[in-house]
A and B are shown apart, each in its own frame.
Chain A
Amino acid sequence: MQVKDLATLEGFVTQTMENGEASITDAYTGDLLSDVMGNAPSESVLITIQAHKNTVAVASLAGIEAIVICNKRSTPPDMLQAAKEECVAIFTFEGTQFEASCMIATLLGKVDACKG
């Protein structure tokens, strides 16, 4: 799927998306940025509540294409500015990380894989 497909998910609000055509093959959920840095796959979307500029730096370095900020947290202007510069998309979502993860897993076609 592509970054722009995330915008079609119900409740996902696009904050910035300079890289709509970029490919997404996986996702990672986490608020601990050191863990994200070390373990998130590239070409992925990050589901988190960390709404600050450093999340963008981590995403950009780890090859994460999009960030979904959950739980009604707002995105500060300097975060959006950094995301534009680094070509990382940001979406906000009022639900929890779990809910966002479920929706993205379905979109990625990974739900069957979860059933094992």
Chain B
Amino acid sequence: MQEIPINTDTSPNVILELIYRLKVKDVMTTDVVTATKETSLREIQYIMREKQITGLPIVMGKRLVGIVSMDDIIQALDKGYINEKAQDHMTRNLIVLEDDMPVSFAINYFDRFSYHRFPVLNKHKELVGMITNRDITSTLLIEINREIEELEKRTSTSSMSDEMHGEIHTYAIMKNDFENAGFASTEIKKRLKKAGVVPHIIRRVAITSYELEMNLVVHSDGGELIAEYTPDSIQITARDNGPGIPNVEEAMTAGWSTASEWIRSLGFGAGMGLPNVKSVVDDFKIESDFNGTTVVCSIKLQADEEK
């Protein structure tokens, strides 16, 4: 049977959204093999066999004028006119789809008509593709897979936040300890990964914790990095014992740095740390005086959109 077993009215919302969001042009085959009116049915039979297709559009330039299907070829063999031209025997009364129509239209067409394929035209009435129900089912399967993956991630994220809820980890960071720089950030990243947090959120947390950790190593007299997990966010606090940032506003300016030549030669101290952090977190606070600096950042674990 032709029917695509998806109901265009009462399917689950995810599916309905998919078949209205996807356009015919997202699904169709654009690499279309065509023939002209002058082509003989015999040649068309060879093309079908070679390309393993069951219907060939007949065109004049980009304009569609007919279709020769496998049935037409069988008829021609049966009745002995296989060497005649396509124009004499092609199907001229065609049902076509437009490339901007939603896929739901195409599904309805396959249900309603007994054709195995429909030609697709653009708004200039030019042939731009062919669509079969196999094209539709395979694209739908890919999209449905993606949707389910998202759903799974979402459910695992919510169970994860319960699992980590209330955890607090504190890492001591020593002044100029380049040897262990990155350790705390790596631990935080591993914790989130184990809990199944989505990769782009982990990346934002990693950027935040690493920049703050490097700041403690490079600029402070030593301090601590604290990771606190709540049901829907992670809070990262960097706290040090001095010497304090003389001008916080300058420190927040991209490119402004007090790092030494040696630190710069390692690829750090370019004045991008705090601006980097601020751009990836959902909430950012900084306080500094000669007793020390405290930066508190939080990142939501279930971001609605990529940041």
| Chain A residues near B (Cβ < 8 Å) | 31-38, 42, 48, 50, 52-55, 57-58, 60-63, 78, 86
Contact = CB atoms under 8 A, between A and B. Distances in A.
Contacts, number: 68
Contacts of A42: 199, 203
10 nearest A-B pairs in the assembled complex, by CB-CB distance: A57-B182, A33-B267, A61-B206, A34-B272, A38-B276, A50-B267, A32-B270, A61-B210, A34-B270, A32-B267
B210 A52 contact: no
A86 B267 contact: no
B189 A54 contact: no
B273 interface: yes
Interface of A (DSSP majority class): helix
Interface residues of B, number: 24
Given A34-B272, A54-B178, A54-B181, A61 B189 contact: yes
18 contacts: A31-B267, A34-B267, A34-B276, A35-B270, A35-B272, A38-B279, A53-B179, A54-B181, A55-B267, A57-B182, A57-B186, A60-B189, A61-B185, A61-B189, A61-B203, A62-B206, A62-B207, A78-B179
Central interface residue in B182, B269, B270, B276, by most chain A CB within 10 Å = B182
Interface of B: 178-179, 181-182, 185-186, 189, 199, 203, 206-207, 210-211, 214, 266-270, 272-273, 276, 279-280
Contacts of A57: 181-182, 185-186, 210
Given A32-B270, A50-B267, A52-B266, 15 more contacts: A33-B268, A34-B268, A34-B276, A38-B276, A48-B267, A53-B178, A53-B179, A54-B178, A54-B181, A54-B268, A57-B182, A57-B185, A60-B182, A60-B186, A78-B179
